[in-house]
Structure 1
């Protein structure tokens, strides 16, 4: 995503992100269609993915997937459920307190790991099976964010999620 010039009014608005988020949940997809494995921490490998996740070693643009915790009740309501468990959505991290859409095209830190938001994490047809009829559409616009791992390390439940204003010198 091409960001507007940083000195433009829109650029200044988009760069203003004082919130700090939190990692609420971590999950790994060991294989296509396999149940998610909930973990308390995971190792992120630069340019690849998460150790134990099926996407590790891929193109890197989808090295890790994140979804907004605040969107879970919305997805549940739109799919006719009282609640949706994090594993159902098949994303690696459930994050609260920071708008993930604002991290698209930006660098951000999750614990000791530096990521770059590469684009939306659109739902797949599996959501129709997992959430029931209309599940795919319930997730449209709420599927979260894909990110590239620029600096690896360990991500732990409870880690802070912070937007970086300058390119990270350690990346």
Structure 2
């Protein structure tokens, strides 16, 4: 990771997900709850230390270090899954960077990284991995739960206010 520090890496923001409700509650065999609001967005508003405006984890103390999840769509590609990456319910879906490498490991702090999709850089502090759950087999296909272990993304806290948009962006690892 040391070699990536301050390097600007071109990525693509493939999907942005914001939802005011938990759709994957209860038993996976019963199916997901209907999501009453559109979840795909062209842009999102991020608030420092709070999360994404309108999201179910925004300003929830229990999720302060996990308010935003960032996911690499290549994790689905590797499994041959062609379903929408929005089904993972990760907030920011990127192409072009192994985001899982930035998660905190036991006894260490996660990396600080920034994303800039044209409206200015927004920094994030990576914390724990965003481990997949059994719902992944239901919504993405059999084997997704096991296949995404270690590749489910990273839970983060935003350090800056800002806007992120779909399309070309740059990622910079500020500290690893």
- TM-score tier, shorter chain, comes to 0.7 to 0.9
**Aligned residues between the structures:** 148
Return the structure number with greater relative CO, CA threshold 8 A, min gap 6. Answer: 2
8 Å Cα contact 2:13-2:165 kept in structure 1: yes
Q: Give 1:60's match in structure 2, choosing from 58, 64, 71.
A: 64
Structure 2 residue aligned with 1:102: 101
TM-score (normalised: structure 1) = 0.77
Secondary structure of 2:159 counterpart: strand
Segments of 5+ residues of structure 2 without an aligned counterpart are: 24-33, 104-109
Query: What residue ranges of structure 1 are gaps of 5+ in the alignment?
Result: 1-13, 167-171
2: CA distance between counterparts of 1:123 and 1:103? 17
1:55–1:68: structure 2 CA closer, same or farther, 3 Å change rule?
A: same
Question: Which residue is equivalent to 2:26?
Answer: none
Q: Does the 8 A contact of 2:100 with 2:151 survive in 1? A: no
Root-mean-square deviation over aligned CA pairs: 2.0
Structure-2-length-normalised TM-score: 0.75
CA contact (8 A) 2:15 2:40 kept: yes
Once residues 25 and 132 of structure 1 are traced to their aligned partners in structure 2, the CA distance between those partners, rounded to angstroms, is 20
Find the aligned partners of 2:12 and 2:2 in 1 and give their Cα distance.
19
Q: What are the superposed Cα offsets for residues 21-72 of structure 1, whole Å, 9 maximum, x if unpaired?
A: 3322111122010446111111111111101111111232112111112112
Q: 1:161 aligns with which of 151, 157, 171?
A: 171
Partner of 2:90: 91
